[in-house]
Structure formats: C-alpha cells, structure tokens
C-alpha cells in the first residue's frame, strides 16, 4: 500500500461506481436539474430523507453516498483487516475523490442529484451549493436528525447487521459521531442564514419538522437541538410505559361505591347532632 496511487485507483473504479449509482435510480437529463444536499449526523436516518426526495421526484434522482464507495478502494479488504473499526479513516480520501467525480459526471449529464453528507463543516455545503448554481442547478437543503443516543445506537446496530450478512461492517468512530452532533445545529443555522438556498427542510426519522416554504420565524438551531437532545424510547419501551400508565389510571379510576343520599338519614343525623349539643350544654350548666 506504500505505492498506492489515489487518482489512479479512483479512475480505475469509476466505471463500476457509476454503473452502481445509475442502476439505483431512474435519473434522466433535466432542463432545470435539482441539486440537493442531505445532511445529518451518522445514524440519523438519512435514508428517510432520501426516500422522501425520491418520492417527490419519482426516483428521477441520482443519490451520491460516499460511504457506499469505500468498498471499491483497491486495498479495502487489507485496510479493514489491518485497522478494523478505524478503517473508515483510511478510505476517506478515496470516498471523497469518488464523490467529486460522480458528482461532476452527474452535472455533466444534467441529472437531479442528492449528495449525502454530515454538515460537520459549513464550508463544504456552501461550496457545493455554489457549484450547483454555477452549473445551472436549483440547490436545496434537507437535514435529517434524531435523538443523539438513538443515532449512535443505530451506527452500532448497522455494523452488527452487516456482520450478520457476512459483509465488512462500516463502523463510525464515536468521536466523529459526537463531533457532528455538536456542530450540526449551528452549521445548519449558518447555512440557512446565508440565504444560499430557497428551500430548506428538516426531518426526524418519521416526520417533517421544518419547511422554509411554510414555517416562518422559527429557529433552525432550536429545532435541531431539541430533536438531538430529546428522549426517545424504542417500541418495546413505549409499550411498557403505556401499560404502566394504563394500569395506574385504571387503579385511580376505581372509586369506593357511594351510597344514595337518604333524606331520612340526613334528618336522623341532624337529630343526633342536636341531641349531642343539648347534652353538652346541660353538662356545662
């Protein structure tokens, strides 16, 4: 690996990568193509955002995800065997170069594009937006996020699922995940405030949280931070909590039977009280 030539490897693998991304879409040339940047922390559920975009564009869009290109690295197997969970650090340059080459080809073909990223920095998204504009694209932003504890757990489960499928797992370093979590809200707000895009959306794993075309005077930063720091339970935990609450409410609802009001009993009680008062007065005399 000492004599490894990054540029040559990217050139050699490009055709295979291009065929792969084309096979996963119905992308066709457009007169006014769209360039969509999809950001969010690792494990946030960006696949949900991708599905929404594909649905909107009837799958007429090319999705560029650098993580999926790592396996095309000439020495990917050796890198994984040597570095294990930190292998992603040693394939990052290859993945980045391949993303750029695929993007340039897609722009040349006038295809709708989604580029997946993390928004770890502000500079990279703004640079991509500027590139889209220079090439006649309509740029927009989609951010996907979720509670940070859930996204981290999801990266672990994804790696475990890949192992079960006899695939080399794509591990995410904890420090990288946490760095993106720390930067995401601030960077998204800065990009929004720049006015570089007309459309800006935020999604959780299940719903749209923000749409710049509809929502006004809302803080991007607050929306993302609220989602990142919110508590989240898995389905089994939700069911357990529901059972406990239902049981408690049922117990609270069980009241002792109340006897019907009896006029006779009220009169009798009044007579008893009057008799006791008269007796007390007699004693005092």
Identify the pLDDT of residue 168.
84
**Hey, what are 173's tokens?**
């370093």
> Rounded to an integer, what distance in angstroms lies between the CA atom of residue 54 and that of residue 63?
9
Identify the pLDDT of residue 75.
96
Select from 72, 45, 60 the least CA-distant residue to 106: 60
Identify the pLDDT of residue 1.
73
Q: pLDDT tens digits for the chain (285 residues)?
A: 778 999 999 999 999 999 999 999 999 999 999 999 999 999 999 988 999 999 999 999 999 999 999 999 999 999 999 998 899 999 999 999 999 999 999 999 999 999 999 999 999 999 999 999 999 999 999 999 999 999 999 999 999 999 999 888 889 999 999 999 999 999 999 999 999 999 999 999 989 999 999 998 899 999 999 999 997 655 554 555 456 557 656 666 665 555 555 555 555 665 655 555 555 545 544
Identify the pLDDT of residue 163.
92
For the chain, first and last CA: distance in Å?
115
Q: Nearest-5° angle of CA 228, CA 195, CA 122?
A: 50
Domain boundaries, the chain: 6-234, 239-284
Q: Active-site residue numbers?
A: 67
Domain 6-234, CATH among 3.40.50.300, 3.40.980.10, 3.40.1260.10, 3.30.360.10: 3.40.50.300
Angle subtended by helix axes 123-134 and 92-108, to nearest 10: 20
Q: Nearest-5° angle of CA 113, CA 117, CA 123?
A: 100
> Rounded to an integer, what distance in angstroms lies between the CA atom of residue 102 and that of residue 64?
7
Select from 127, 143, 134 the least CA-distant residue to 107: 134
């Amino acid at each position: 690996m000492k004599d490894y030539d990054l540029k040559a490897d990217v050139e050699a693998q490009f055709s295979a990568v291009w065929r792969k991304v084309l096979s996963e879409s119905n992308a066709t040339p457009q007169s006014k193509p769209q360039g969509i940047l999809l950001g969010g922390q690792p494990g946030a559920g960006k696949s949900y955002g991708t599905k929404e975009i594909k649905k909107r564009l009837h799958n007429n869009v090319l999705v560029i995800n650098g993580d999926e290109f790592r396996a095309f690295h000439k020495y990917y197997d050796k890198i994984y065997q040597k570095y294990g969970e930190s292998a992603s650090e040693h394939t990052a340059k290859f993945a980045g170069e391949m993303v750029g080459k695929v993007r340039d080809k897609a722009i040349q073909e006038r295809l709708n594009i989604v580029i997946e990223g993390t928004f770890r920095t502000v500079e990279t998204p703004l640079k991509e937006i500027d590139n889209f504009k220079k090439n006649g694209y309509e740029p927009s932003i989609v951010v996907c996020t979720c509670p940070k504890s859930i996204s981290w757990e999801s990266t672990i489960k994804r790696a475990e699922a890949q192992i079960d499928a006899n695939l080399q797992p794509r591990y995410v370093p904890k420090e990288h995940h946490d760095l993106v979590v720390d930067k995401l809200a601030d960077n998204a707000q800065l990009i929004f405030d720049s006015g570089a895009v007309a459309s800006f959306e935020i999604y959780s794993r299940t719903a749209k949280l923000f749409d710049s075309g509809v929502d006004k005077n809302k803080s991007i930063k607050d929306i993302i931070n609220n989602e990142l720091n919110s508590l989240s339970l898995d389905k089994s935990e939700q069911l357990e909590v529901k059972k406990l609450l239902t049981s408690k409410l049922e117990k609270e609802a069980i009241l002792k039977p109340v006897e019907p009001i009896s006029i006779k009993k009220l009169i009798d009680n009044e007579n008893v009280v009057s008799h006791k008062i008269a007796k007390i007065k007699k004693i005092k005399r």
